[in-house]
Amino acid sequence: MHTWACRLLRVLNEKIIGYGIVALDQEVAFEIRASQEHEGCGLYSVVWIGCDLRAQGDAMSDMAMSSVPYLALTKTEVAYKQLRRDIVEGVLEPDTILDQEALATRLGLSTTPVREALRLLESENLVISRRHRNTVVAPLDLDQLKETYAVRTQLDPYAVALGAKAATQPERDAIWELLLQAEKEQSPIDALHTNRALHRAMYNACRNAVLIQLLDNLWDRCDRYRVATLNDESQVRVANDDHRRIVTVFNEGKADEAAQLMREHITASLDRIDPAAFPSPRG
């Protein structure tokens, strides 16, 4: 697959926010457009528009004004991705009441896909549906977070050890590029997505589909908590130093060292999350 296609798919996975909206990445811009041939069928095309003005050279010239094949993006998926993004990034804060009609109006959709999207979000513990009452954004739960990190402390090191042995050279090169991107000055939200992409690139190299799916789910549970740590520049620098050490030994194929450094990094990541962000237990 062409490098630009890989990057575009990564951006789609992380940053797609709905049709008719231009989504910008530091490397690529694209638009989700309803397919005229499939109007009303929930199929949309992804049209490449341009690149960041800081990019130089002809690396993307073969992608200019071309279209990616049609993607099956339903209205429910559009609602799910946008609402999930809003929850993870703190736009919709914990305990916010989610009025389906208001959300549908904001997203330009009917209430049916919004209702279905909320059910998906409830399965991820991101929203809570109260019988005969309303649906709210799930509160932050320190105990649940600790339990999630306890599992990650076991699985992340295992996956990175497997990846250090199995990664191809192009994968190692891509991981290094993600590290360099993570070390640049970014907004907290961009840093969240870059950090996620870097970690996923390493554990994705393990070649174990079950392990990858488990880690994807665990990371989904952690992202909204991690946003709170990304406003502290000193903590970001510490995390970047950890990343450089991990990526260095990963790319050298030193599986045991990579696993140990990842275990220490995950443990420290939990310690960096401020307990004050969580509501006090009710007596």
Give the pLDDT score at 229.
61
- Tell me the range of 41-55, 143-157, 213-227 where mean pLDDT is highest: 143-157
* Residues 210-230, mean pLDDT to the nearest whole number: 83
Q: Is the pLDDT of residue 143 over 60?
A: yes
Kindly state the percentage of the chain with pLDDT values over 70: 69
Q: Which of 59, 58, 44 is nearest to 7 (CA)?
A: 59
Give the pLDDT score at 280.
56
What's the CA gap between 247 and 46, in Å, rounded? 32
* Residues 135-162, mean pLDDT to the nearest whole number: 94
Whether 115 contacts 149, CB under 8 Å: no
Per-residue pLDDT tens digits for 59-111: 333 333 333 333 445 788 888 888 998 898 888 999 999 999 999 999 888 99
- Tell me the range of 37-46, 62-71, 168-177, 215-224 where mean pLDDT is highest: 168-177
What is the C-alpha radius of gyration for the chain, rounded to an integer number of angstroms? 20
Q: Is the pLDDT of residue 169 over 70?
A: yes
What's the CA gap between 68 and 165, in Å, rounded? 33
Whether 267 contacts 153, CB under 8 Å: yes
Backbone angles phi, psi at 133, to 5 degrees: -130, -115
* Residues 21-49, mean pLDDT to the nearest whole number: 37
Q: Which of 229, 220, 18, 232 is nearest to 138 (CA)?
A: 220
Residues 31-44 as b/e (b if ≥16 CB within 10 A, e otherwise) read ebebbeeeeeebeb
How many whole angstroms from its chain centre is CA 140? 18
What's the CA gap between 277 and 283, in Å, rounded? 18
Report if pTM > 0.75: no
* Residues 11-27, mean pLDDT to the nearest whole number: 37
Instruction: Name the helix (H) or strand (E) containing 47.
Output: strand 43-50
Mean pLDDT computed over every residue of the chain: 75
Give the pLDDT score at 104.
92
SS3 assignment, position 50: strand
What's the CA gap between 60 and 51, in Å, rounded? 8
Give the CA distances from residue 62 to residues 3, 29, 33, 89, 99, in Å, rounded to whole numbers and listed in that order. 11, 15, 21, 34, 44
Per-residue pLDDT tens digits for 1-13: 334 444 444 444 4
